[in-house]
Amino acid sequence: MTPIVGSAHTSGITTLTLDSPGNRNALSAELVGELRAALAAAGADPAVRAIVLTHTGTTFCAGADLKNPFAPEDFLALLRELAELPTPVVARVTGHVRAGGLGLLGACDIAAAGPRSSYAFTESHLGLAPAVISIPLLPRLDPRAAARYFLTAERFGPAEAARIGLLTLHADDVDQALEPVLAGLRRASPQGLAASKALVTAPVRAALERDGERLTALSATLFGSAEAREGITALFERRDPSWTS
């Protein structure tokens, strides 16, 4: 099978590319598995100072693949591995990010985006909740903004994403904006990076340890509910769900 997570290495930076545009880089079992393997390989390479996580197509990640879903515990493992990896992970976004894709952003150490990117926590409109992804996100997000966007599923742009803490930076030219960031990472020592990352990810790692199993179970319960089945069916049928007033 053709890989759906590409990997390339240049000058101390390994770039991992989500390359499944046919389903908008949705979090399928295959994509989650390949991404976990690619992160482990890059993290074990002593020549890698940082990992850039990016995408092909117009969508960074559309969230869970509702036709080929991942096991919730595998996605939790992916978020843990992103947080615990001693190598910094930098998200580079030029397209749309929805639902579970926002969890990937939250688990990355630095997140940068271009002007055409957009964001939405769509779960509440499907009978679901951003349960597992809330673990890496809530320590980073403005609490009032998290309440608003978790509840309403409103779409917002990169300036708002940066204001509320979802993004580190946004710019018309995201690659130009990332140049000083990557230059600084290239000059850092492996030990210095690992120890510094451990400091800033401590709240996320603690939350994953404390809440991971409970929120994974909640996610599975919600996905298996009649209300979620109605919401997902309505999405595929391009109609409003039965509860819409």
200 burial class (0-12, 13-18, 19+ CB within 10 angstroms)? Answer: exposed
199 part of a folded domain: yes
Q: What is the pLDDT of residue 148?
A: 98
Pairwise CA distance, residues 106 & 201, whole Å = 11
Q: What tokens were used for 193?
A: 């990076």
Residue-wise pLDDT tens digits, 84-136: 999 999 999 999 999 999 999 999 999 999 999 999 999 999 999 999 999 99
Q: Which structural domain range is residue 164 located in? A: 1-173+190-245
Q: What percent of the chain has pLDDT over 70?
A: 100
- Identify any residues that bridge with 59 across adjacent strands, giving them in sequence order: 96
The CATH number linked to 10 is: 3.90.226.10
185 part of a folded domain: no
133 part of a folded domain: yes
Residue 1 has pLDDT above 90, yes or no: no
182 part of a folded domain: no
Residue 245 has pLDDT above 80, yes or no: no
Residue-wise pLDDT tens digits, 227-243: 999 999 999 999 999 99
In the sheet that holds 110-113, the strands lie side by side as 5-10, 13-18, 50-55, 89-93, 110-113, 169-170
What confidence tier does 221 reach under pLDDT thresholds 50, 70, 90? very high
Concatenated DSSP letters of 7-34: EEEETTEEEEEE--GGGTT-BBHHHHHH
179 part of a folded domain: no
183 part of a folded domain: no
Q: What is the mean predicted confidence (pLDDT) over 147-169?
A: 98
**Domain count of the fold of the chain:** 1
27 part of a folded domain: yes
